[in-house]
Amino acid sequence: MIKYELLCEHDHTFESWFRDSAAYDRMAEQGVLQCPECGSTRVSKALMAPRLARKKGHDDREDARRRSAAATAAAVVGQMAAAAPKIPAEAGGEMPDPAAVRQVLRTVKAYVEQNFDYVGNTFAEEARKIHYGESDARAIYGEATPEEQASLQEEGVEIYTLPVPQDDA
């Protein structure tokens, strides 16, 4: 899998994962890539810098497996958000319909619950173990305090915060 930073014609940037560069090329040619912020299909690759610092003995395949599930969930969110019905401009602007947004969030929540391991309040500890290779690579979800989230991000541990729809809280 390969991750590209993408840029739409309105200068919105977003990330997306592809099986390989040829898959990106095919999707770009077909015009199926869509900016999750504005819905534009005029999308191109943005400038990117490779990650050069690697731990000794680092296995790129393990890294890809660890991020694959999170990337899949992020891609689902982006695609569903772009497809969500918009409130007409005459009714106040290009805001997504709140009911559609709640449905997207419910779908993502269900996907995560079915495909990730729930680790509860030990999320920060488990995420670190996976990041540093002390535990098997797997997709996890759970709870973390804002301080734990900030600490994980400072250490370079990739995490995503998913909002829970209010009627599900």
pLDDT digit string (tens) for 150-161? Answer: 999 888 888 888
> Would you state the pLDDT for residue 78?
60
**54 band by pLDDT with thresholds 50, 70 and 90:** very low
Burial class (CB in 10 A: 0-12, 13-18, 19+), 146: exposed
Asked whether the predicted pLDDT for residue 50 surpasses 70, the reply is no
- Are residues 153 and 90 part of one domain? yes
Contact predicate 84/104, CB 8 Å? yes
**Residues 12, 94 share a domain:** no
> Domain check: are 65 and 111 in the same one?
yes
Question: Is 121 inside any structural domain?
Answer: yes
pTM, entire model: 0.48
pLDDT at 6: 86
Q: Do residues 3 and 17 lie in contact, with contact meaning Cβ atoms separated by under 8 Å?
A: yes
Residue 106 has pLDDT above 70, yes or no: yes
Q: Name the DSSP letter for residue 165.
A: P
pLDDT at 52 (0 to 100): 38
| Strand ranges for 83-164 from DSSP E | 117-120, 140-142
Provide the pLDDT for residue 2: 75
For residue 122, what are the domain limits? 60-168
Number of domains in the chain: 2
- pLDDT of 121 > 60? The answer is yes
- In angstroms, the CA 110 to CA 88 distance is 29
